[in-house]
Amino acid sequence: MSRKATIGMVVAAVFLGAFAGQLIAPQPASAVAREIIELQQSVSQLLQGQQDMRSAMDQRLAELRTVVNQTLDAQNRVNTEMGAVQKALQDTQANSGARIDTIATQTQGVSDNMQDLQARVAKVSQQVTDVQNLLQSIDAKLPGTPSATGGGGGSAPPSSSALPSGVPAPISSDTLYQNALRDFSSGRNDLARQEFGDFLKNFPQSDLAGNAQFYLGEISYAQGDYPNAITAYDAVLTNYPRSFKLAAASLKKGEAMLASGQKATALRQFRSVVSRFPGTDESRRAEAHVKELSPRTAPAATTPH
């Protein structure tokens, strides 16, 4: 090997050695310290974030715990109240079976009162006008009034004092009906029967005439007079096709038939109620009667082989 080649190889070896030493030499202390500080800051941020998240979760859990406790308290109160209601109902059913029927009748009377009131509100204004016209007509016919004697001046205002002495003021249809319904709801059936009969006699064209006829049937039914009850209910269906009590009269007619032993006729009547008044309470009660009265098909007997 020549001398020049040997010198070149030595120079290359020195250069490579210097370069490798540079690569594996330790970094300055300042760079290492900076990285440690940045790492510590990142760890601190992570710990702070974790602490914030835990605080938020603790607060949310406390809120949920409060809501759950409130819900449990409300549920306990409801359960306590329901238990008291059930106990009261059981006591009532155990000790007052007859009174429940009376309360149901009274409730029906109150419901009818509301229904009748709604039907009459629209007529109040016209009835007041009719009464005023009637009183004016009476004043015109009585002696001593300006219109009857031909005296001057305007006509006197209507007044009950213008009626002749000893002549009672006529009772209105509303008053008579309400008196009858109140007596019926109170169990005074004989008096209610007379009042409903007077109502039908004096106000046969009233919208409440069908109701009065229905209650005559109810009184007979309550007294066990099923034939007259059937007749009264049938009169509602025949004479008052627009009555509020059509469905009820149709159902009660079937129940009166059933109570008097006419099972086949009652079954047909109940089926008629279901057909004519679908979706009503009377229809549902009639369906229950139909299920009770419908003959059950016996299973076919197997023939031995």
- Is 25 contained in some domain? no
Contact predicate 246/237, CB 8 Å: yes
Rg (CA), the chain: 48
Confidence (pLDDT) at 182: 94
36 assigned to some structural domain: no
Convert the pLDDT of each residue in 224-265 to its tens digit: 999 999 999 999 999 999 998 999 999 999 999 999 999 999
Where is 202: in which H helix or E strand?
A: helix 189-202
Would 66 be classed as within a structural domain? Answer: no
Domain that holds residue 245: 172-294
C-alpha angle 54/57/63, rounded to 5°? 145
**95: Cα within 13 Å, side-chain hemisphere:** 6
Q: Let me know if residue 304 belongs to a domain.
A: no
Over residues 129-171, the pLDDT tens digits come to: 566 556 666 655 555 444 433 444 444 444 444 445 454 556 8
Give the pair of three-digit tokens for residue 248: 């009820």
| pLDDT value at 94 more than 50 | yes
61-89 confidence digits (pLDDT tens) = 778 777 777 777 777 777 677 777 777 77
CA angle 87, 93, 98 (to 5 degrees): 155
Looking at the structure of the chain, the number of domains it has is: 1
pTM (2 decimals)? 0.48
In-domain check, residue 284:
yes
* Cα 239 from Cα 234, distance rounded (Å): 8
Please give the single-letter amino acid code of residue 79.
N
In CATH, what number is assigned to the domain containing residue 288? 1.25.40.10
Is residue 170 within 8 A of residue 203, CB to CB? The reply is no
